[in-house]
Chain A
Amino acid sequence: LVGGGAMSGGTRLENANPVIFQRSGERQLTASEEDDDVHDPIDDREIFDILSINDPEHPLSLEELNVVEQVRVKVDDAGSTVGVEFTPTIPHCSMATLIGLSIKVKLLRSLPDRFKIDVHITPGTHASEDAVNKQLADKERVAAALENSSLLEVVNQCLSTRSV
């Protein structure tokens, strides 16, 4: 009956109607977490919760878009390394670098200095996977990107938890 076409207006999105995944829900609080004396190691879920940040195109979190999944987050607290694989919603997503950069910046801000952070695209899910991975691994480029104030603004917008 009522057509949708007549009503969509504004700028076209690259992927206007993505598949949405259910959120995994809040982490359950355990008794040991409330005990002052127990040491809780940093685990995969904790990193994953840090990453529930906004997608630049959608008002949805990366989790809901399945861009970041808990199984693709690996952390070694003792060895101080974190590896995150992310999956762009479509293979030609032009925002892949920006998403990767946002993830990287978020982790840099949220983890202790001792961690070595590795962010890359899930193998085989993006057309220019290698180029993006290379850019994300290049410390100098990441640092340079963060000097760029307009880029930093977009990244901050992604990371912002405040409702606009």
Chain B
Amino acid sequence: MTNYKDIYRHCCMLCSQENILLHKYCRDGVKMSVQSILNTAASLLSLTSSQPHTRARGVQLLSEVLQECYGDLTEREVEVLIAFYENRLKDHYVITPPVLRGLKALTKCTVLPPGSAVSMLRSLFQDVHVQSLMLAERACVYNMLINLMETREAELKGLGADFVFGFVQSMDGERDPRNLLLAFQIAKTIISRGYDLGKFTEELFEVTSCYFPIDFTPPPNDPHGITKEDLIQMLRAVLTGTPKFAEFLLPLIIEKLDSDVQSAKLDSLQTLTVCVSQYEHKDLAEFLEGLWVSIRREVFQTSSERIESACLAALTALTSCLSRSVLSSESEDCLSTFLDLVLKDCKHHLSEPDLKLVWPSAKLLQASCSASIRASHVITASVMPNIVEQYNIWSHYNLLCFPLCVFPPPLEDSVFLAYRESLCSMVFSALSESNSSLQITATSVLTSLGQQTGDIQPVDLGHICLQSERSLSSCFSQTACLPSALMDQDNTEASEKLSHHAVRQRCLSALAAVSVHPSVVQESTPVLLEVLSSAHTGSVNFLVEEVVLACRSLQRIAEQVQDTEETGRCFHEVIIPRLLGLTLQAALQDEGSSGHRSPLVEEAVLSAMVPVISTSCSRLQPQLAEQTASRATSLFLNGDVSFLPDNSFPSHIQLQSQMVCLLMGCVHCRNELLSELEEMSCTCTHTLSYTSAAKCFAGLINKSLQGALVLQTIVHWYVSTLGLLKASRYSIVFFNPQVAKALLVRYHPLSTTLTDKLFSLLDNTDLGSMAADGFSLLMSDSADVLNRACHADVRIMYRQRFFSENSAKLVQGFNAAPQEKKPNYLKALSNIVNKLPKQVQVTELPALLSLLLEALSCPDGGVQLSTLSCLEPVLADPPAALIQQLEALVSRLLALTSSPAMDVRIASLRCIHALSRFPVHEVLPFRAQVLRALARPLDDKKRLVRNEAVQARGEWYDGSC
């Protein structure tokens, strides 16, 4: 009965406390929980009831109140409450759940009196058997622990190993995944915050490791969203958290690696990879052999790629752990012991004639190699001689792959330095093999060799490269030796030719890839030039794509090579003159038209040459670039061939007009050049020529100084001649936008004159349509000349600026234009709007809406299509102005669904689809009309149209009822 007296005493105390609280709340004013506290205080009498269930209700009520207002309690109040609750833990079992809830609320108090955390936990561990509680109460206990560990770490550590023991007892046998996540979190904190494990290390390991490996399938429709992966990650964090677990964990992993379940193996390997990053060699020493045997077995036998890569990752982690360890004078070197083990089991496979285990062995060796420099030294020293020897016997490409595999990780190059010679000879002999996969592997090795910068001296690389050239040229000559007669024979030979094409491509790109260092470039570029010149003369048969590729390789070299005087000279004094010379020869020869047509007159090749010149001019050695530009200009203007090699040109040559495109690479401002270019772009009929000339002209205009007289006069003169329309029509409509663009992108005030001219051309009967297309050119990004890479003066947001300045003009012009000219305006509008960034489109379009709607009924299919593509994103978030015009929009879109062009039908159906997402009250009036109209495209002859119609019609049925 003393028990009940106790309760009563507490209760009275509590009542008076509550009264005080109550007064305080009343004084402070509004608090939601006041009423509930009042009720609690009234019903607290039930705490003294002789019925356990009644008492439980009382405690429950109190706990609920505490959950609401734990933040407002004073230290004294908390102390009393804790004493009360601790006492209640000894009461009847039905009272335990509400007591735990109350205690959990109290653990969140900031004013927890010192010592109370410890006393709370002592009574908890003593009086409650956690695993016999219900799920929610167990969670309650875990949450209490988590709360206390967050705020009272020092106090809990004072409990010593008892705390760990208490926790181990509480979680022993837990089965619910939600609670397990909490328990793992506690265990992880215990380990990571350095709580004293005492003699309970093994117990803590046992109680958590019994879940390893996790096997859990969430029930369908699981509302908690706990996945197997969550549990795996949490448990792994616990198990790998401390080296103290090593002696228990490693045997467990070895055991689980024997398992038949794939996921268990995978989990074990990943856990191993993580845990060794924490361990030292002495933790590992006694299990090394077991681990290695398991890993080796898996790699040799498994068919699963995931397991294999997990094994290799684990091996790498193991080796790097061993490499990291500090040796004392008397201990043995774990790393070399381990690597001996690896080598003993792998090396002999490399020399087995059946080659079956070569690949897995190479992978294992490579994995241990990549762990550390020390490991790679040991393994390379032991394996390389063997590989070289084997390669000489078998020439199997698996063997060649080994050095290839070893290269990618950023290792010290000195590892291979000793074997450079033999490696090179291996690569070169592979290059001359007939097996094309072997050749491709070899070029890759060569590429990675070339990319290694660091210890390898440039001289060495040059040496390698020199040899590689020889083999490359031998390769070329071999492929070229295939008689051209093969070309029109049967399929097998054609495919062989194809693979030769692949080899050539590889060679060219390998050559470009290795050319980073200036001295290498000195050696590699002549090879590429040789390719070009033999293609030109026809001594070796090259496809046009291969010639283009050679140009690309040169461009790539120009992009990546270090900018030194040496390379600058190489490009500006050797390569560019050579390129110009060859092209010129080709062009002249073409006039004479002998039997062989040089690929160097092809537009594709010329266009590929332009970036070589422009990259070298913009990247390498400004003074030399200037010199090149002026030479090229004088070549173009005066036919000055003095700087070209192989000077066998006639003294007076008439330049081929298409050579002008090479000028795009390097323009140098001279007045006579401007007029020459202007002349050419307005009179020439050859497309490539007049477009290139116009681009060069635009580039010059763009770069000439602000306010320069030449600029003003040129533009004024130009505008006046434009009025006379003396020029060929096509070129003039190309020329004007180019020049206008050159000025527009640098915000030059004169640009308005030119764009106004373009606007006025829209009214022209013949040129109106092409002028409208000119706006597309004006607004789009330029791939050559007028971009930042070519040092053009390009300001940001010139498009927006142009649009905001000119949209009103466009609307005005449209309104004033006669009916038959209106389509030109609409086309121009759609060209301009299409290139604007989407955000600008969405904000600017409402102003132009009536015009766009007009454009939908314009007969031009292109205008319809681009208008529809402008409209579609706007429809996703319709402005109010659009909703007002809904009727017109719907009827126009529906009319377009029977357009003759498939694209227009599809785009209009998409817009109709988007309309269905408008607010229901807006679209409901059109529902019947739309559904009826969409019945027709359901029977369209094109499937793609039908698909859109089905989706749109479904949405209209769906969204508006």
Tell me the smallest distance from the CB of A134 to a CB of chain B, in Å: 26
**Residues in B whose Cβ lies below 8 Å from that of A145:** none
Asked if B954 and A161 make an inter-chain contact with CB atoms under 8 angstroms apart, the answer reads yes
Residues from chain B with a CB closer than 8 A to the CB of A16 are: 220-221
Binary contact track A21-49/B, C-beta < 8 Å → 1, others 0: 00000000100011010111010001001
The residues of B that contact A33 with a CB separation of less than 8 Å are 942-944
Q: B961 contacts A159, CB within 8 Å?
A: no
Docked-complex contact A152 and B961, CB < 8 angstroms = yes
A1 touches B941 (CB 8 A): no
Q: From A108, which residue of chain B is reached at the shortest CB distance?
A: B957
CA distance A100 to B938 in the complex (A): 22
**Cα(A9)–Cα(B135), bound, Å:** 14
Task: Report the minimum CB–CB distance from A120 to chain B (whole Å).
Answer: 22
Q: Which residues of A contact B211 (CB under 8 A)?
A: 1-2
Q: Which residue of B lies closest to A162 (CB)?
A: B958
Contacts A1-B211, A16-B221 known; A111 to B958 CB distance under 8 Å?
A: no
Query: Mask for B204-232, Cβ within 8 A of A = 1, else 0?
Result: 00000001001111111111100000010
- Look across to chain A and name the residue whose beta carbon is closest to the beta carbon of B905: A36
| 8 A Cβ contacts from B151-203 to A | 175-178, 180
> With the chains together, A2 CA to B947 CA distance in Å?
46
Q: Are B961 and A1 in contact (CB under 8 A)?
A: no
| A110: min CB distance to chain B, Å | 4
- Quick one: which of B215, B220, B944, B961 contacts A156, CB cutoff 8 A? B961
Q: Complex formed: what's the CA distance from A50 to B938 in Å? A: 12
Which B residues lie within 8 Å of A17 (CB)?
220
B953 within 8 A of A: yes
Does B902 touch A at the CB level, under 8 Å?
Answer: yes
Q: Are B954 and A159 in contact (CB under 8 A)?
A: yes
Pairwise interchain contact A110-B954, C-beta atoms closer than 8 A: yes
Give the distance to chain B from A61, nearest Cβ to Cβ, in Å.
Answer: 14
A81 CB, nearest partner CB in chain B, Å: 15
Q: Is the CB of A34 within 8 A of B957?
A: no
Out of A29, A42, A161, name the residue touching B955 (CB < 8 Å). A161
Q: Across the interface, do B938 and A110 meet the contact criterion of CB distance under 8 Å?
A: yes
Is A109 in the interface zone, CB < 8 Å from B?
yes
B631 at the interface (CB under 8 A from A): no
Interface flag for A71 (CB, 8 Å): no
B223 to chain A, nearest CB (A): 7
Q: Is the CB of B958 within 8 A of A8?
A: no
User: For residue B950, which residues in chain A have a CB less than 8 angstroms away from its CB?
Assistant: 50, 110
CB distance from B681 to the nearest CB of A (A): 36
Task: State the CA gap A161–B951 with chains docked (Å).
Answer: 9
B701 to chain A, nearest CB (A): 41
Contacts of A9 in B (CB 8 A): 223
Residue B646 CB within 8 A of the other chain = no
A4 within 8 Å of B by Cβ? Answer: yes
A contact residues around B939 at 8 Å (CB): 112, 114
- Whether the pair A159, B958 counts as a contact (CB closer than 8 A) is yes
- Taken together as a complex, chains A and B put the C-alpha atoms of A161 and B953 apart, in Å, by 12
In the complex, chain B residues whose CB is within 8 Å of the CB of A34: 902, 944
Select from chain B the residue with minimum beta-carbon distance to A149: B961
Q: Is B13 an interface residue (CB 8 A)?
A: no
**CB-based contact B944/A112 at 8 Å:** no
B935 contacts chain A at the CB level, 8 A cutoff: yes
- Min CB–CB distance A128 → chain B (angstroms): 27
Q: Is B946 an interface residue (CB 8 A)?
A: yes
A10 within 8 A of B: yes
Cross-interface CB contact of A2 among B175, B221, B223, cutoff 8 Å = B175
A162 contacts which chain B residues (CB < 8 A)? 958
A108-134 CB contacts (< 8 Å) to partner B? 109-114
Given contacts A40-B941, A111-B938, contact A4 B954 (CB under 8 A): no
- Segment 923-961 of B: residues with Cβ below 8 Å from A: 935, 938-939, 941-944, 946-947, 950-951, 953-955, 957-958, 961
Q: List residues of chain A with CB within 8 A of the CB of B217.
A: 4
Q: Is A6 interfacial (CB-CB < 8 Å)? A: yes
Please state if A1 and B942 are interface contacts (CB–CB under 8 Å).
Answer: no
Closest to A106 in B: B954
Among B218, B222, B942, the most chain A Cβ lie within 10 Å of the Cβ of B942
Take A1-B175, A36-B901, A36-B942 as given contacts and tell me if A109 and B221 are in contact as well, using a CB distance cutoff of 8 Å.
no
Number of cross-chain contacts by CB at 8 Å:
92
For the complex, what is the distance from the CA of A52 to the CA of B938, rounded to whole Å?
Answer: 17
0/1 interface trace, chain A 10-23, chain B, CB 8 Å (1 if under) = 10010011000000
Task: Tell me the count of chain A residues lying within 8 A, CB to CB, of chain B.
Answer: 37
Bound together, the chains give a CA A7 to CA B958 distance in angstroms of 35
Distance in angstroms between the alpha carbons of A158 and B946 in the assembled complex: 21
Judge if A3 is at the interface, Cβ distance under 8 Å: yes
Closest-CB distance, B876 to chain A (whole angstroms): 14
Cβ contact within 8 Å between A3 and B175: yes
A160 adjacent to chain B (CB < 8 Å):
yes
Q: A2-B180, A152-B961 are in contact. Are A112 and B938 (CB under 8 A)?
A: yes
Q: How far is the CA of A39 from the CA of B942 in the complex (A)?
A: 6
Contact B216 A109 (CB under 8 A): no
Q: Which residues in A have their C-beta under 8 angstroms from that of B942?
A: 33, 36, 38-40
A37 to chain B, nearest CB (A): 9
Given A50-B950, A162-B958, are A10 and B223 also a contact pair (CB < 8 Å)? yes
For A152, the chain B residues whose CB sits under 8 A away are 961
Beta-carbon contact of A113 and B180 below 8 Å: no
In the complex, what residues of B have CB within 8 A of residue A161's CB?
A: 951, 954-955, 958
Instruction: List residues of chain A with CB within 8 A of the CB of B180.
Output: 2
Cβ contacts under 8 Å, B135 to chain A: 6
- A9 and B216 CA atoms in complex are apart in Å by 17
> A2 and B958: CB pair below 8 A?
no
CB distance from B916 to the nearest CB of A (A): 10
Known: A1-B216, A156-B958. Contact between A6 and B176, CB under 8 A? yes
The answer to whether A109 and B957 have CB atoms under 8 Å apart is yes
Q: Give every chain A residue within 8 A of B216 (Cβ-Cβ).
A: 1-2
Task: Name B214's closest neighbour in chain A (CB-CB).
Answer: A1
The residue in chain A whose Cβ has the minimal distance to the Cβ of B900 is A36
Q: With a CB–CB cut-off of 8 A, which chain B residues contact A4?
A: 217-219
Considering only CB atoms, which chain B residue lies closest to A30 in the complex?
Answer: B943
| Bound-complex Cα distance A40 to B448 (A) | 51
Q: Which residues of A contact B901 (CB under 8 A)?
A: 36
CB distance A7 to B938 under 8 Å? Answer: no
A20 to chain B, nearest CB (A): 11
**Cβ of B487 to closest chain A Cβ, rounded Å:** 28
Report the minimal beta-carbon distance from B544 to chain A, rounded to whole angstroms: 25
A46 surroundings in chain B (CB, below 8 A): 943, 946-947
With CB as the reference atom, state the residue of chain B lying closest to A53. B954
Give bound CA distance, A111 to B934, whole Å.
Answer: 10
Give per-residue flags for A127-164: 1 if the beta carbon is below 8 A from chain B beta carbons, else 0: 00000000000000000000000001000100111100
Q: Is A10's CB under 8 angstroms from B953's CB?
A: no
Measured CA separation A82–B644 after assembly (Å): 75
CA distance A156 to B47 in the complex (A): 56
Q: Is the CB of A2 within 8 A of B231?
A: yes
Question: Given the complex, which residues of A lie within 8 Å of B947, measured CB to CB?
Answer: 46, 49
Whole-angstrom distance between the Cβ of B132 and the nearest chain A Cβ: 16
Q: A86 → chain B, closest Cβ, in Å?
A: 19
- Minimal beta-carbon separation of A44 from chain B (angstroms): 13
Q: Please, what's the 1-or-0 string for B864-889, where 1 marks a CB less than 8 Å from any CB in chain A? A: 00000000000000000000000000
The answer to whether B902 touches A109, judged by C-beta atoms less than 8 angstroms apart, is no
Chain A's closest residue to B949 (CB) is A110
> 9 other contacts beyond A1-B214, A10-B223, with CB at 8 A cut-off?
A2-B177, A6-B176, A7-B224, A34-B944, A38-B942, A39-B941, A46-B947, A112-B939, A160-B958
5 A-B pairs whose Cβ atoms sit less than 8 Å apart in the complex = A3-B176, A7-B218, A7-B219, A109-B957, A112-B935
Q: Which residues of B contact A (CB under 8 A)?
A: 135, 175-178, 180, 211, 214-224, 231, 900-902, 935, 938-939, 941-944, 946-947, 950-951, 953-955, 957-958, 961
Taking beta carbons and an 8 Å cutoff, which residues of A are in contact with B?
1-10, 13, 16-17, 29, 33-34, 36, 38-40, 42, 46, 49-50, 106, 109-114, 152, 156, 159-162
Q: What 8 A-B pairs have minimum CB-CB distances, sorted nearest first? A: A112-B939, A4-B219, A40-B943, A8-B219, A39-B941, A110-B950, A2-B216, A2-B177
